[in-house]
């Protein structure tokens, strides 16, 4: 039989990007090879995201495009994976006759077996079972030459924010033992990786499940101190690791020990993405976020004092049920007070089986658009002011890629920096000290070590085709 080929298409968050890497790994482990695109694939996997609107609809219309391919080659298998698959399960088989497999995020290792069974005559299959009893955390083999890699430390979410579908699609929180996490990071660093991003839906609520006394007495109690110990352990035990990031922390688990770890560990970037969602206490309460705007600001101010120059980014929702103009103004005020240098902002949309559905969806789409626009303006302005303020300073850049003779990477504050190096130098995978010479709307231009800034040709900033922050 000739070699079978796969194609994986990914939507959504970094957790999904990482899951797609694992899907590729398990298929390769079973002898599949990557296809050049969907047209020459024997298996197409659509790894779906349902965190925001119309996810199912988007997935089904994408799958609809495969009809011709499937008619030409009936042996083509189409797999729906990820959060929409987990949430909708069996129902998707009825909605599209093109789908052969519906696969939940915890069932990735079973995919080759399921495909084989279907080849042997088994019917279309749904596998969406959470591994609650003995959770597995598959690692993904590092992509060749990749400077950066993800490592999962926990999965699922117990927070149950009232608007969010994730507790349904990713299941209850399960944590990975510290020894396994450290071991995976060591392996990745030995293979050339220099930056690790720890992943989890509320990554800083992590604790070590293999240490019996670690389990918080109440799932509702703020954690964060165990996670700080994990960061310290990784920094101490993996000396060649250059940078350790994590996403996404929950503000209520940003505890004092975690702030202290940020003050002391130079391996942590001087940046935090800390979703706040709203600046109105009433909205935060109805969202069930379990902090007030003041508490959020107090924590981030402590963090900023502990780590000079630290920048913040966030996630925001506009038009949550019952959000008034006054509530929205409180969000704008918080955005200014926290000084976010970037933000992902979204219009509220009802998600299946979430508590907020009972609150209605009373903010009109026009109002949501208008509020989003005002938010973009404030955040965009803060971003431009911040980037301009960096011109003339030096920053450490972890170089990740090259294009047209210019290298790019991220600064210690997570800004995208294009670096001009000396002729013949290739710093990919290295941390270089760069002098910032120009600020664009979303990135920076810098001169690498030993390069005279005056000799670096400046680039005209690209015409702005879209808003400065990502929107819904
Ligand atoms: N509507 C709009 N935005 C949402 N998010 C999550 N659920 C919804 C929803 N129902 C946003 C939050 C979260 C980000 C990943 O997606 O801001 O932090
Ligand atoms: Fe969703 Fe809230 Fe959990 Fe984040 S913390 S995944 S927004 S329920």
CA distances from 272 to 2, 256, 258, 407 (A): 48, 15, 12, 24
Query: Which atom of ligand 1 is least distant from the CA of 13?
Result: 15
Protein residue with least CA distance to atom 1, ligand 2: 164
The answer to whether residues 127 and 252 touch, using CB atoms and an 8 Å cutoff, is no
Best of 200, 202, 220, 286 for a ligand 2 pocket test (most atoms within 8 Å of beta carbon): 202
pTM: 0.91
Name every residue whose Cβ is closer than 8 Å to that of residue 146 and which is 6 or more positions away in sequence.
Answer: 192, 193
Q: Per the structure block, which two tokens stand in for 228?
A: 């700080």
Average pLDDT, rounded, for the chain: 91
DSSP class of residue 205 equals: G
Distance 12 CA to ligand 2 centre (A): 14
Query: Which atom of ligand 2 is least distant from the CA of 315?
Result: 7
DSSP class of residue 333 equals: H
Dump pLDDT digits (tens) for 214-239: 555 555 566 668 999 999 999 999 99
For the CA of 155, the nearest ligand = 2
The answer to whether residues 420 and 393 touch, using CB atoms and an 8 Å cutoff, is no
Range scoring the smallest mean pLDDT among 347-351, 446-450, 454-458: 454-458
Dump pLDDT digits (tens) for 351-379: 999 999 999 999 999 999 999 999 999 99
Dump pLDDT digits (tens) for 101-143: 999 999 999 999 999 999 999 999 999 999 988 888 888 887 7
DSSP H or E stretch at residue 443 = strand 443-447
Tell me whether strands 394-403 and 431-439 are parallel, antiparallel or unpaired: antiparallel
Distance 156 CA to ligand 2 centre (A): 9
Please give the pLDDT value at position 403.
86
Protein residue with least CA distance to atom 4, ligand 2: 201
Range scoring the smallest mean pLDDT among 136-140, 145-149, 246-250: 136-140
Question: Which residue is listed with tokens 């202290």?
Answer: 260
Burial readout 199-214 (b: 16 or more C-beta within 10 A, e: otherwise): bbbbbbbbbbeeeeee
Average pLDDT over residues 305-313: 96
Average pLDDT over residues 195-215: 85
Distance 277 CA to ligand 1 centre (A): 8
Tell me whether strands 416-420 and 406-411 are parallel, antiparallel or unpaired: antiparallel
Query: Which atom of ligand 2 is least distant from the CA of 250?
Result: 5
Dump pLDDT digits (tens) for 251-307: 999 999 999 999 999 999 999 999 999 999 999 999 999 999 999 999 999 999 999
Q: Side-chain half-sphere of 253: how many Cα atoms within 13 Å?
A: 25
Distance CA 63, CA 78 (A): 8
For the CA of 277, the nearest ligand = 1
Q: For 36-165, where are the alpha helices, taking DSSP H only?
A: 55-64, 67-72, 82-88, 90-95, 111-119
Q: Per the structure block, which two tokens stand in for 267?
A: 């391996």
Distance 164 CA to ligand 1 centre (A): 6
Distance 82 CA to ligand 2 centre (A): 16
Cα 319 to the center of its chain, rounded Å: 23
Give the three-state DSSP class for 289. coil
Average pLDDT over residues 316-343: 98
């Amino acid at each position: 039989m000739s070699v079978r080929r796969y194609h994986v298409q990914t939507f959504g968050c970094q957790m999904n990007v990482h899951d797609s890497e694992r899907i590729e790994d398990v298929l390769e482990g079973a002898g599949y090879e990557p296809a050049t695109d969907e047209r020459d694939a024997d298996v197409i996997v659509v790894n779906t995201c349902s965190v925001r609107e119309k996810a199912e609809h988007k997935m089904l219309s994408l799958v609809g495009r495969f009809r011709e391919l499937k008619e030409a080659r009936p042996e083509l298998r189409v797999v729906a994976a990820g959060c929409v698959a987990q949430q909708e399960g069996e129902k998707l088989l009825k909605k599209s006759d093109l789908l052969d497999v519906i696969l939940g995020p915890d069932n990735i290792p079973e995919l080759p077996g399921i495909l084989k069974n279907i080849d042997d005559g088994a019917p279309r299959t749904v596998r969406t079972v959470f591994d609650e009893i003995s959770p597995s955390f598959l690692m993904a083999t590092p992509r060749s030459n990749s400077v950066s890699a993800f490592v999962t430390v926990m999965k699922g979410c117990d927070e149950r924010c009232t608007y969010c579908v994730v507790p349904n699609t990713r299941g209850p929180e399960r944590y990975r033992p510290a020894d396994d996490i450290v071991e995976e990071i060591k392996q990745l660093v030995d293979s050339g990786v220099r930056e690790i991003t720890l992943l989890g839906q509320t990554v800083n609520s992590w604790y070590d499940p293999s240490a019996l006394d670690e389990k918080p007495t109440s799932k509702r109690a703020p954690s964060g101190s165990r996670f700080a110990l994990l960061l310290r352990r990784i920094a101490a035990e993996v000396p060649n690791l250059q940078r350790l990031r994590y996403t996404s922390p929950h503000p209520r688990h940003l505890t004092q020990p975690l702030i202290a770890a940020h003050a002391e560990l130079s391996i942590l970037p001087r940046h935090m993405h800390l979703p706040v969602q709203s600046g109105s206490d009433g909205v935060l309460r109805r969202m069930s976020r379990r902090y007030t705007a003041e508490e959020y600001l107090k924590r981030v101010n402590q963090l900023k004092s502990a780590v000079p120059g630290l920048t913040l980014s966030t996630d925001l929702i506009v038009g949550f049920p019952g959000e008034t103009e006054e509530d929205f103004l409180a969000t704008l005020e918080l955005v200014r007070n926290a000084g976010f240098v970037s933000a992902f902002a979204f219009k509220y949309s009802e998600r299946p089986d979430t508590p907020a559905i009972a609150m209605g969806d009373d903010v009109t789409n026009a109002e949501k658009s208008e509020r989003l626009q005002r938010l973009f303006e404030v955040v965009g302005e803060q971003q431009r002011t911040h980037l301009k303020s960096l011109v003339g300073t030096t920053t450490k850049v972890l170089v990740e890629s090259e294009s047209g003779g210019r290298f790019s990477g991220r600064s210690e504050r997570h800004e995208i920096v294009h670096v001009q190096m000396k002729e013949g130098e290739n710093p990919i995978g290295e941390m270089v000290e760069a002098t910032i010479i120009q600020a664009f709307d979303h990135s920076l231009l810098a001169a690498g070590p030993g390069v005279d800034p005056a000799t670096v040709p400046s680039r005209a900033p690209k015409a702005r085709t879209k808003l400065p922050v990502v929107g819904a």
